[in-house]
Chains A and B, each alone.
Chain A
Amino acid sequence: MNVPTLATLALVLAYPIFYAAYLSFHKVALAELRRGVFPFVGFDNYTRILTDPLFLLALKNTLVFTIFCVTVEIVLAVAIALLVDQTHVWTGRVTKFLILLPYAVPPIANGLIWAFLYSFDFGFLNRILFTLGLIHEPINWVGYPSTAIFMLAVPYIWRTLPFAILLVHAALQGINPELFEAAAIDGAGALHRFRHVTLPLLRPVIVVILVLRTSFAFTVFEEVLAITQGGPGDATWVAAWYSYKRSFAPPFDIGVGSASAYVLALIVGALAIAYVRAVYRRID
């Protein structure tokens, strides 16, 4: 009964992972693809990317992007999950209903919608601020190299926040309410209860979110393509964008693309091992 699954996983997951390693040690560009012969080049592709300032910049940008996204997401997820837990406020029920919506939006569409929101001349955000009378000159939201990566993080956070909120919210439902009552009887204020009861009990789920979101934020792609395409300058080149551009845009150097993707995979792989160690024990 496992044959279809194993066959598909072998073709689409296992084989490509090893084949990617193979490609990363060979010269594979348009000419080689046509001939079907890939000359062995050893660690050439790796030395090339590790000495390429653009690749190192892309890694750095990815790191900044990931740390920013994951931190903001965890704070927002805990805050919003606690917020919608206050079921006696009717606006809370509206929030709860809307939480899942961003999850369904195609990432590339999300990117384009934010490109419209951010647009300097015609953008929706500037329109809102003009209408509210808050600005008198349009703001160039993604025009500055120093802040573009953070502006890029906002759409990504918007799209991936539902997942984090859901996990925190599910964990909150599992906390025994008597714990809060006991703490309240002992004279603990709301802030105290949060710090000494809620937060410690949420720690496991926060670790799960931390590792999962970190490893996925490392591979951000669609929003970059739709909003900045790496710009302004090369301020928003991220790792997945580097692999994509090297492989599928001139000079179509698939060997170099594979090597850079493999560096990415090794980083994410280390996180995956940490995840399994930390969390998946509890499944048995």
Chain B
Amino acid sequence: MDRIPILKLGRALLVTIQVDMHDRLATALEEDLSAKIVSSGARGVVIDISGLDLVDSFMGRMLDNIAAVSRMLDAETVVVGMRPAVAITLVELGLELSGVKTALNVERGMALIQTRLIQTGLEDADVGEDGP
């Protein structure tokens, strides 16, 4: 079965969703990601959806779920790279992803996670670098 790769970047995990998601792939991602948060001790998850030309309520719920599970595992989720047409459609659909932080691109998403680490006093170095 296909899997979506999860990359570790310092204290964060980066997931790039490029394929048209079907249900099993979404469920597998949720499971893989939560396991990886625990095994890597990651403090943040950046999900790049710039490759997606739509987000429907199923995918929106998946993103919400991932953010909620990550939060319980002490990691912040940031969804980045949403296309303008997708954002317009999501709002009209009635799905505003209120449980999920968003940022314009991967760089800003990583910066958001770094800010959180600094604010909580857990990190004073760059998020992209491994800690001691």
Partners in one complex: no
Residue numbers of B with Cβ under 8 A of A are none
